[in-house]
Structure 1
């Protein structure tokens, strides 16, 4: 293959893999639409509706290591095809879940989708760095991730109009007989079938293209990496930076899921807007703020030490969580949109600071930090418990407030460790003058 043909092949492969970033971002950001929808259909408490997030993020915890082993044994392409197969299967299971009207079946379908997404994310993130010149790897990865942010903006807007159908009001439902009420709720629950069938068909089409697409065969035997040695996990956790990053990432993902997943419920209670309007605020407000915040934070890091910027953003988020707990109207919505802006840099910043100078423990440290996103399964339950116990959904923001305090602690710890190193470097420079 000549250089021109190879470049064209790589470009097409990049486009196809970037489509994966968009698709997993899209389906993730339908979860905030599903939560109020399923809560109404099954008369759930806030805590019970939070099981949507638990089903998704437990899958990440359980599948992270198997996904890595699959990549080592079968290669990146086989892993991506496996992830797409699970993704499509989970989306198709929404049809029998809606037909049977069983909440546990919806949770099972979400779990299978998330298993597929775990495999896809584990494979696509590193692989896309290989599609071209090494010096442009970071640029390619950031470009692909920007489509994930685009999905965060579009999914709530489109999903609300397809899933949150205009049905009977709560008062009208209460006035109906049990059979009539069940029939109305069953019809509303069925609104998920069309969107998730469409998602499944798109994923099958993408998988078909991937099956015939000739990708560079970079697998376990070609990466030059040996299998992890026994005790690698304990050795990685012996590093304070990795240990703290695992804790911080656990709480960060928990905070992000609380903010996004409960936004529609929050907006309808705190600001008194309809679910459709709330979904628009989620997409155009939180989604755009998250994307803009990521670009703004990347630019600010040219002038501000990342850990210091992370500390400032975490403290700003703590303050905004307090505002979200006790304000109302547009002020409450502006506070949550502000949180989306400030938390945009947190995941990649915590990740990079955690594995900085980790040497031979970098790979295992990375895996452990990725596994810690199981916080997205745990903290929403805390949010739901507080909301149900206090009969005030706004007080649930005490959960993400605590999470941002932990992130501030992490950033402060990084800065404290950096001070002696900077002083030693400064002393060494003076000694050599």
Structure 2
């Protein structure tokens, strides 16, 4: 039976379940009385939906609170054990895989290193397959119990009906790699377990907007600053974010060659790989055999020595020049999108941290138009260097919430304290 707006009764029921479940997930524990005004549903509809969710094991009672002169009201929350999710970060130096419960508390993790400049498709898919199997085995969890696997990758992700998600990663040498089809063929997960593949900056953006420094903002740009740089725009018309190939804006005509092959890209100056290379070219000496993260640590130690040490002028100059390039790049985002916030995350952005941020802010303001510059706040992300895996896990989580807590599409067609996610992610907060 269809309602006047074309929606069926089944659609309405599923929408009601999704509204209640989202409210409990992001703002719970809540009482049935609280859920009415929060969702706009009648008390009868709330009671029916809550009864279904409790019967399905998705929601549980979580104590009670006093009411005004009546009986105590029962608090409700989403059961963390009612579902499990996997988040995958195909990063610059490693493939990281984490298994989470529904509150996004980490259950187990696995990491496998990637050799510099080695993004062989067979190697990456093998790392994902083996790491997924490892985290499931460590937790003693059957693959059938997964709600889905979310994967953040460098590059542009396109989708088609035949091959699923396809990755165009020019900087890593991936030309239309059918990653979803390859994983479906090789990873050994049941057919009913969905894959959700998207740009890594976009997954970071969703995590920061849901749980981190972007929470409460109407619009923001979230920057992923690692070996390279990328960004994600979140605004009213792009609720779940739009990946921006920001690192490949031209900041210097006939400048340094970027990993993508072009000249003068922002990434060729402001990415961690380029930053360390420029330090070496200027006479800096990272430790022999150091990986990129260790080399960046050495650069920071040279520029900002502890206690009474003398700063290395070469290291300081390279960092200041990088801050200016990054600030100029941020000014493009400020002028183009006029966001409320710009959030800088990624392992390199967080490692450079508060010492680097004032200079970046100063240059961003200098290169921006006055009005949008006066509106924006430029801050560090709050979810730590593992935020891409958290963001990747939010992809199947968002799907689960939108289906009202049904485990798969077939099922979907059938008739006080802080929220759990806040406690689970507290240890990830950048202090």
TM-score scaled by length of structure 2:
0.27
Could you say which structure has the higher helix fraction? 1
Q: Greater relative contact order: 1 or 2 (C-alpha under 8 angstroms, separation 6 or more)? A: 1
